[in-house]
């Protein structure tokens, strides 16, 4: 039986809210089946106040084993590195001090969500709170624990990045840890589990036919590809949101909203509107992963020339008005 402790730092709690919607099976059934005992979670546990402090102290002195430490939310080092912008209630001790000491005891340390992984939304703008991730500050290694940190099993922080995380990314990562199968080979260069980070949001996107012909939406709510004009980064974002839709139904692109690449460091600072595609000489600045610019220009020109009239018209419509059907050669 593995012992899991979940603490929330600076964030919205969205990753927990998403996790509570885990299905087939639900969260608690998944943990039980994996042999994981939940020591404490701020929303699921009855213990609070002195009881929680007693648990944390028992972990620090070695009386209570800690196998998996999950941190949700960014770590606040401000003001001036003191960490006193965020004290653990009833202790007068900064959360960053608790997390640093608990991480030394943990067999595995897991950052749940992009805030805990890289700083995320909490670190946006001037970052007056000095928010950071556990082992990354943006795209730079370091963060609260430092780039050299290794858990008791000799492993770096596992970064389940996303804003919020898909519930299955979390449950499947925990299952891998319980089985002893989550090693360095199963993590990408940013410490993200490859079980979802080896995919692109583009994979399985319901708008892929429009993308192939570069039949693009021009305004929100239209059916076409969102990459050319509306800021979609699905061809660059490492995640499988469209391969396994959220709750079996949706994703950002299926809901008509551009992918903002929320699993990546510093996604919160795009330096332009999330819903606009920066261009130079009419060519999108952010091109699909691994595609040279010259290839994209050539492909886009050919694709646009070959776009079926059905796709061309549907792309700028708010619903499908021309269904697929065999073309009448006599009318062409």
* Structure confidence by residue, pLDDT tens digits, 67-110: 999 999 999 999 999 999 999 998 999 999 999 999 999 999 99
- CA–CA distance, 261 with 256 (Å, rounded to integer): 15
Do both 169 and 115 map to the same domain?
Answer: yes
The predicted pLDDT at position 37 comes to 98
145 and 59 inside one domain: yes
Mean pLDDT of 272-301: 78
Quote the number of domains for the chain. Answer: 2
Alpha-carbon distance 179 to 166, whole Å? 21
- For 301, the domain range is 199-320
Mean pLDDT throughout 208-221? Answer: 93
Both 124 and 273 in a single domain? no
H/E run at residue 5: strand 2-8
Residue 295 has a pLDDT of: 66
312 and 219 in one domain?
A: yes
Residue 330 — very low, low, confident or very high, per pLDDT cuts 50/70/90? very low
**Under a CB-based contact definition with an 8 Å cutoff, are residues 177 and 108 in contact?**
yes
- Sequence-distant (≥ 6) Cβ neighbours of residue 8 within 8 angstroms: 16, 42, 71, 72, 73
Average pLDDT over residues 194-222: 94
């Amino acid at each position: 039986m593995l012992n899991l402790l979940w603490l929330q730092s600076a964030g919205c709690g969205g990753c927990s809210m998403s996790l509570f919607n885990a299905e087939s099976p639900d969260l608690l059934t998944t943990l039980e089946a994996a042999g994981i005992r939940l020591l404490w979670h701020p929303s699921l546990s009855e213990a609070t106040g002195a009881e929680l402090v007693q648990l944390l102290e028992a972990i620090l002195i070695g009386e209570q084993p800690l196998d998996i430490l999950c941190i949700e939310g960014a770590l606040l080092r401000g003001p001036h590195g003191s960490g006193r912008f965020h004290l653990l209630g009833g202790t007068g001790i900064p959360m960053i001090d608790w997390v640093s000491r608990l991480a030394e005891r943990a067999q595995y340390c897991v950052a749940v969500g992009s805030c805990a992984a890289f700083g995320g939304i909490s670190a946006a703008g001037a970052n007056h709170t000095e928010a950071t991730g556990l082992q990354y500050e943006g795209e730079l290694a370091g963060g609260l624990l430092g780039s050299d940190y290794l858990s008791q099993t000799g492993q770096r922080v596992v970064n389940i990045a996303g804003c919020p995380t898909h519930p299955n990314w979390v449950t499947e990562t925990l299952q891998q840890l319980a089985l002893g199968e989550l090693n360095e080979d199963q993590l990408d260069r940013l410490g993200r589990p490859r079980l979802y980070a080896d995919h692109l949001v583009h994979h399985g996107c319901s708008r892929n036919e429009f993308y192939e012909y570069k039949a693009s939406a021009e305004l929100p709510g239209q059916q076409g590809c969102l990459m050319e004009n509306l800021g979609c980064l699905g061809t660059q974002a490492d995640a499988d949101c469209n391969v396994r839709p959220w709750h079996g139904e949706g994703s950002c692109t299926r809901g008509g909203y551009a992918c903002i690449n929320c699993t990546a460091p510093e996604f919160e600072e795009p330096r332009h509107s999330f819903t606009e595609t920066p261009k130079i000489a009419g060519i999108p600045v952010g091109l699909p992963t691994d595609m040279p610019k010259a290839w994209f220009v050539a492909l886009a020109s050919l694709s646009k020339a070959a776009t079926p009239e059905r796709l061309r018209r549907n792309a700028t419509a708010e619903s499908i008005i021309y269904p697929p059907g065999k073309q009448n050669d006599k009318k062409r």
